[in-house]
A = this chain, B = another copy of it.
Amino acid sequence: MKRNALSNVHSDKLFEQVYDYLLERITRGEWRAHEKLPSIRTLAIELNVHRLTVFKAYQMLKQNRKVYVKEKSGYYVLPNNMLPLDSQHDPIVSAYVQESSLSEIHQVKAVYQFSIALLDPHLLPNQFFSEYVKRVFDLYPKVLGTYSTIQGDRELREALCHYFTKRYHFYLSADELLITSGSQEAIDLIARVLIKPRDAVLLERPTYSPAIDVFRRQGANIIPIEIHPHGYDLDRVEMLMQQYKPRLFYLNPTFHNPTGFVVPAEQRKRLVEIAHKYKCVLVEDDPCPDIYFEEKPPLPLFSYDTAGYVIYIRSFSKYIAPGLSIAMIACHPSFMSYLIRAKSLSDSGTPLLNQKIFLHYFFCERMQKHLAKLRIALAIRRDIMEQELSVTDWKWSSPTGGFNLWIRLPESTPMESLLSKSIEQSITFVPGSIFDPQREFKSWIRMSYSFLNEQQLREGLKRLVHLSRTLHPEGNPSGD
């Protein structure tokens, strides 16, 4: 046992070293799940550092869900953070263990799947779609024998540029676009290129939960920022940017998932300015700008960006064709080359077939007409949900677009047993805590109106409301 002394290390580095040192020991399994960690005092003496440095490291470990706190006792190892190195069941060791509770809930088979924020396949023009695909094969007889370039089919990228010019009046070249296999790949590539361990990342609270998992896997230090019906507290955003110097802010300002909120235009403009000032990249995820029920949503943040600080993810899976998995990233050319390299290692290009089908399907007149009908169909489904819920004391802001209601149940609702009993009755919803980097929002749930038909919506909601009443009799809120 030899003592080493890395000199020239200032105190930020020191805190990071203590953090890494603890993280490595936890990951290596030196302490077991739920085992108590050394006290701050003990560690400070052992490592010859200030107690505040150890405290700071423990705080970040807690934030990153590596440890948990027991009041008046100390820090304990949170399970699922260890390498299963010694596990007898596991001949192969794993370095990274992630959570992805959303995909687990999606695997539950149920009649009333309020958990799925996807379009009911019956709302897609399937017959027309099949006819169309056959034409695509006539147009490109060798499409299955050909790889796409890694950046994506040029014909598709040019069509997308044309579409953005026409729709948003912003001008892009095909070189500023990358086609990805869905928005999940887009988020993953951006995170892999931009984020390294301990980088600060701003996330909305609540937010799209797989994004939490991706940034956490990259080792990011996650800083939450609340989203409200009318956007963010921008002074707080600025303060957080100043304080933490986040590498990026991942956000979903248009028909936000799960809340349905829309960040207003004037906030968008100011946010882009603030981001530029603090050199924080804005990663704007935009999966459903076409699904508006009243007026068109404001322009994307990307359209306000002149300095290259906005990376724009536009996906089409949710309401065009989940089976195709087509999304795109638009960004400053300086960043594009890094993304292309990352993609070349990740899947060597989105399949050409999917790109060609999407190209001819999305931009045809019939699809654009179909979108108008789709908006009406979804608005009706939202209305049905709201009607059914109007008899309860549940609270929500009526969404003006998108697929979801973000609902607050009475605080006394026993959420875990509501979910498990719902699943028994073939009803699923997503508990709010899944969307929260801090795993709070315990009284909230997300219910999607996009996947079920009108009759299913009514019937499923009646059952759920009834169930919640049996668990939490009216006029007698438990816990009071």
Which A residues are within 8 Å of any B CB, using their own CB? 1-11, 14, 17, 20-21, 27, 46-49, 89-98, 100, 103, 107, 118-119, 121, 124, 126-127, 129-130, 133-134, 137-138, 141-150, 181-182, 184-185, 188, 192-196, 199, 210, 213-214, 217, 247, 279, 281, 307-309, 311, 317, 321-325, 331-332, 334-335, 338, 341-342, 344-354, 357
Contact = CB atoms under 8 A, between A and B. Distances in A.
A308 B4 contact: no
Contact of A17 (B6, B188, B345): B6
B46 A7 contact: yes
Given A144-B126, A145-B323, A210-B344, A6 B47 contact: yes
Closest 3 CB pairs of A and B: A121-B145, A130-B137, A144-B323
A261 to B, nearest CB: 23
A279 B91 CA distance: 8
Contacts of A357: 144, 353
Given A214-B345, A354-B354, A124 B100 contact: no
Contacts of A98: 341-342, 345
A480 B323 CA distance: 62
B185 A347 contact: yes
A126 B140 CA distance: 10
A437 to B, nearest CB: 15
A97 B338 contact: yes
Given A181-B347, A325-B349, A94 B194 contact: yes
Contacts of A348: 103, 182, 184, 210, 325
A252 to B, nearest CB: 16
A311 B92 CA distance: 10
A117 to B, nearest CB: 11
Nearest to A214: B345
A46 to B, nearest CB: 6
A89 B246 CA distance: 20
Contacts of A124: 142, 144-145
Contacts of A144: 124, 126, 129, 133, 321-324, 357
